[in-house]
């Protein structure tokens, strides 16, 4: 008898480990297909890297826009641990010299951590409810669509939602099964929900609509008030840099709420109706599964409201949970339609499986026929339907192959770049990635509070004679954020290399103009690749012809 129970537990553990292992496999493959983050994505990875360095030194003056604080805490801890086994250079210097190594390590550590949480979330559901099919089905949440699966290649807040939403769903399942009634948390379920929701909002503000779901599950004004208070308090605790940068944070969030454009830009009209409906239409057309699951949930809710049907439902809290998470999904989509980007939908895409789970359970309650084998069949069929969606695993395979091809192509370009003649100074202009890690380091430094003061001198030593071109000002800035005109650079250096990797064609023209307008420069394109939007210029000084007051020490910026 004992051996039979042991075999059942081991078999259950193996089944619960399948999805986490598959996710690790997918994540490692994506990591190998991308390799260096500087040639893949620098925003927000390099920002989080710099804030991780700062926190690793005990500073709480950190980047707070997302807010993303839990990700920064994770980065600081992991980087500090890694540095214990690294060469003897200082912590900061080692990270700044090897940013891609540290970001890769952070990503892999994150993937392992997320998959462990998913495993234990499934295990908790199984141990406390005995419902293995439900536990595995909820673990299946990331596989609903490709952009959720592939997001684990990034080091940013969104991948963390994979684990966090599954934890929230798992806690809700335990609540629906009455688990809290048999523990010390019998009257404090509001505390658990408050901590979880507060943590989620501290990851990214796009999680905010999730605060609605527990309000449908908690009964009584007092519990709901306690829950809202706990949510606010836990958010402040998990976003502890807010105590240092409260003014900047509230100015930023106010701009996001009031202004109609992306990142708090545009008119103070809350939304731009034209853009709102265009982006809502884009979401509906591209993410049809969200429409289908919303329609399913609403139909089930309408049916459950019929008096004779409602009387048949034993556990009416399933209806409350379904209403709460459906409301969360709808409100979330509407808010994201204001400033739509695909990765903003990640936490809401993850709800698809759980809303489906709740809908199925309401229907099971109505027919009053609950068997584990029936649930297993239904969940399996639903999972197969989701996997058959062309935007799920099939699209991920195509995406992975494209990533591999891009990496191979980029490596060829790097080989060609290394063959080019060396110059006295390197000027960079980049958008979301670059062939030079210096572009990511400059971006991360400038986006970090007091980043220039903290890291400018050290970066100037590690990567001397490097500038960033700011197209908005038409000037060049060194690591100390000191501006230089094209004329001043031509005085200091006889040969300049300008690497422009940008999606905005106007930037290329602006670079050419600022040097040609000096009438003291010979501007020549020595390498161009339209596929990656990379152009490399060689700028040669023809004749300085400038007064002595403009002269800089030779070869120095």
Task: Say what the pLDDT of residue 183 is.
Answer: 67
Give ∠ CA 449-38-60 in degrees, rounded to 5. 20
On whether residue 198 sits in a domain, the answer given is yes
Q: Give per-residue pLDDT as tens, 307-345.
A: 888 888 888 899 999 999 999 999 999 999 988 888 899
Residue matched to tokens 């208070």: 229
Return d(Cα 30, Cα 23) in angstroms, integer. 10
What is the tens place of the pLDDT at every residue in 171-230? 999 999 888 777 666 668 899 999 999 999 999 999 999 999 999 999 889 999 999 999
- Phi then psi for residue 62, to 5 deg, are -120, 170
Angstrom distance (rounded) from CA 30 to CA 209: 30
Lowest mean pLDDT among 23-27, 59-63, 189-193, 305-309: 305-309
Three-state DSSP at 67 gives coil
- Of the three residues 397, 428, 456, the one that is the final residue of a domain is 397
Contact 148, 54 (CB under 8 A): no
Predicted confidence (pLDDT) at residue 243 exceeds the cutoff of 50: yes
d(CA 445, CA 309): 60
DSSP string, 399-453: HHHHHHHHHHHHHHHHHHHHTSPP-SEEEEEESS--SSHHHHHHHHHHTSTTHHH
Q: Give the per-residue pLDDT at 310.
A: 84
470 and 361 assigned to the same domain = no
User: What DSSP element (H or E) covers 534?
Assistant: strand 534-541
Of 79, 45, 248, 250, the residue nearest 158 (C-alpha): 45
Sheet with 483-484, strands from edge to edge, namely 483-484, 475-477, 466-470, 425-430, 495-501, 534-541, 521-529
Residues 328 and 473 in one domain: no
Distance CA 169, CA 118 (A): 11
Decide: residue 371, CB within 10 A, 0-12 exposed, 13-18 middle, 19+ buried.
Answer: exposed
> What pLDDT, on the 0 to 100 scale, is given for residue 550?
44
Task: Return all residues near 556 (Cβ < 8 A) that are at least 6 apart.
Answer: 465, 492
User: 228 and 377, same structural domain?
Assistant: yes
- Region 134-144: mean pLDDT is 94
- pLDDT of 431 reads 76
DSSP class per residue in 473-530: TTEEE-TT--EE-HHHHHHH-SEEEEEEE-S-HHHHHHHHHHHHTTTSEEEEEEEEET
Strand partners, 469: 476
**Element (H or E) spanning 250, and its range?**
helix 246-258
- Is residue 398 left, alpha or beta, with left meaning phi > 0 and alpha meaning psi from -120 to 50? alpha
DSSP conformational letter for 38: G
In 3D, which of 557, 556, 525 has the Cα closest to residue 540?
A: 525
pLDDT of the residue at 304: 92
Q: How far is the C-alpha of 190 from the C-alpha of 466, rounded, in Å?
A: 53
Least confident range from 292-296, 340-344, 470-474: namely 470-474
The answer to the question of residue 460 being in a domain is yes
Full residue range of the structural domain in which residue 228 is found = 2-34+98-238+266-397
Q: Are 496 and 520 in contact (CB under 8 A)?
A: no
Preceding peptide of 44 cis, ω within 30°: yes
Tell me the pLDDT tens digit for each residue of 357-398. 999 999 998 888 878 888 889 888 988 988 888 888 888 888
Closest CA to 500 of 427, 554, 441: 427
Confidence band, pLDDT 50/70/90 cuts, at residue 168: very high
Instruction: Indicate whether 72 belongs to any domain.
Output: no
Q: Once rounded to an integer, what is the mean pLDDT over residues 281-297?
A: 92
The verdict on residue 246 lying in a domain is: no
Rounded distance between C-alpha atoms, residue 440 and residue 174, angstroms: 44
Does the residue 403 lie in any domain?
A: no
Question: What confidence score (pLDDT) does residue 226 get?
Answer: 95
> Are residues 464 and 355 part of one domain?
no
State residue 314's pLDDT score. 80
Instruction: Say if residue 479 is preceded by a cis peptide, omega within 30 of 0.
Output: no
Same domain as 423, residue 390: no
pLDDT, the chain, mean: 89
Residues 479 and 368 grouped into a single domain? no
Looking at the structure, do residues 213 and 296 belong to the same domain, yes or no? Answer: yes
Residues 6 or more apart whose CB falls under 8 angstroms from that of 109 comprise 74, 78
Note whether 157 and 306 are same-domain residues.
Answer: yes
Query: What distance in Å separates the CA atoms of residue 171 and residue 182, rounded to the nearest whole number?
Result: 14
Q: What is the pLDDT of residue 188?
A: 82
Is the separation of the CB atoms in 365 and 312 below 8 Å? yes
Last residue of a domain, one of 338, 367, 397: 397
386 and 468 in a single domain? The answer is: no
520 occurs within a structural domain: yes
Residue 497's nearest CA partner among 528, 519, 466, 474 is: 466
- Name which of 190, 143, 189 is nearest 166 in CA terms: 143
The answer to whether residue 508 is domain-embedded is yes
Q: How many domains, the chain?
A: 2
CA-based nearest residue to 47, from 174, 142, 157, 181: 157
* Claim to verify: residue 208 and residue 314 sit in the same structural domain: yes
Selected residue with higher pLDDT from 261 and 444: 444
Dihedral angle computed from the Cα positions of residues 325, 329, 331 and 333, in that order, rounded to the nearest 10 degrees: 170
Residues 12-23 pLDDT 10s: 899 999 999 999
Same domain, 178 and 217: yes
Same domain, 292 and 176: yes
Residue 544 belongs to a domain: yes
């Amino acid at each position: 008898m004992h051996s039979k129970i042991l075999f059942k537990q081991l078999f259950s553990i193996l089944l619960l480990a399948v999805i986490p292992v598959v996710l690790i496999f997918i994540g490692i493959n994506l990591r190998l297909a991308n390799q260096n983050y500087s040639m893949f994505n620098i925003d927000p990875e390099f920002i989080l890297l710099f804030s991780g360095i700062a926190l690793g030194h005990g500073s709480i003056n950190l980047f707070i826009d997302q807010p993303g604080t839990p990700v920064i805490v994770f980065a600081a801890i992991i980087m500090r641990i890694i540095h214990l086994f690294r060469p003897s250079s200082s912590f900061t210097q080692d990270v700044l010299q090897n940013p891609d190594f540290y970001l890769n390590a952070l990503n892999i550590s994150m993937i392992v951590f997320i998959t462990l949480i998913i495993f234990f979330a499934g295990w908790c559901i199984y141990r406390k409810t005995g419902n293995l099919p439900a536990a595995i089905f909820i673990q299946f949440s990331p596989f609903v669509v490709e952009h959720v699966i592939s997001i684990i290649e990034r080091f940013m807040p969104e991948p963390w939602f994979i684990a966090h939403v599954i934890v929230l769903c798992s806690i809700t399942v335990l609540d629906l099964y009455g688990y809290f009634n048999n523990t010390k948390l019998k009257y404090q379920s509001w505390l658990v929900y408050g901590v979880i929701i507060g943590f989620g909002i501290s990851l990214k503000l796009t999680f905010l609509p999730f605060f609605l779901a527990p309000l449908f599950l908690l009964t009584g004004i007092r519990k709901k008030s306690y829950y809202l208070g706990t949510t606010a308090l836990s958010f402040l605790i998990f976003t502890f840099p807010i105590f240092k940068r409260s003014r900047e944070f509230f100015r930023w969030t106010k701009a996001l709420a009031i202004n109609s454009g992306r990142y708090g830009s545009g008119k103070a009209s809350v939304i731009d109706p034209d853009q709102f409906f265009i982006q809502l239409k884009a979401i509906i057309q591209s993410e049809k599964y969200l429409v289908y699951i919303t329609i399913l949930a609403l139909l089930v809710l309408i049916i459950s409201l019929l008096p004779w049907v409602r009387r048949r439902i034993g556990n009416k809290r399933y209806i409350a949970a379904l209403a709460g998470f459906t409301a969360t999904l709808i409100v979330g989509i509407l808010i994201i339609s204001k400033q739509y980007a695909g990765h903003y939908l990640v936490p809401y895409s993850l709800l698809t499986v759980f809303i489906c789970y709740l809908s199925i359970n309401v229907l099971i309650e109505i027919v009053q026929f609950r068997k584990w084998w029936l649930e297993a069949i239904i969940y399996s069929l639903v999972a197969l339907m989701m996997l058959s969606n062309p935007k799920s695993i099939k699209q991920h395979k195509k995406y992975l192959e494209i990533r591999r091809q891009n990496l191979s192509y980029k490596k060829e370009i790097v080989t060609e770049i290394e063959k080019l003649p060396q110059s006295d100074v390197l000027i960079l202009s980049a958008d979301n990635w670059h062939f030079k890690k210096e572009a990511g380091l400059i971006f991360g430094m400038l986006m970090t509070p007091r980043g220039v003061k903290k890291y400018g001198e050290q970066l100037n030593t590690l990567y001397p004679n490097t500038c960033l071109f700011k197209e908005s000002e038409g000037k060049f800035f060194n690591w100390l954020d000191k501006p230089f005109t094209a004329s001043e650079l031509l005085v200091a250096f006889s040969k300049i290399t300008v690497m422009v990797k940008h999606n905005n064609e106007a930037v290329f023209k602006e670079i050419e103009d600022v040097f040609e307008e000096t009438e003291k420069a010979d501007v020549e394109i020595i390498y161009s690749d339209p596929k990656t939007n990379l152009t490399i210029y060689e700028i040669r000084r023809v004749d300085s012809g400038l007064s002595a007051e403009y002269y800089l020490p030779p070869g120095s910026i």
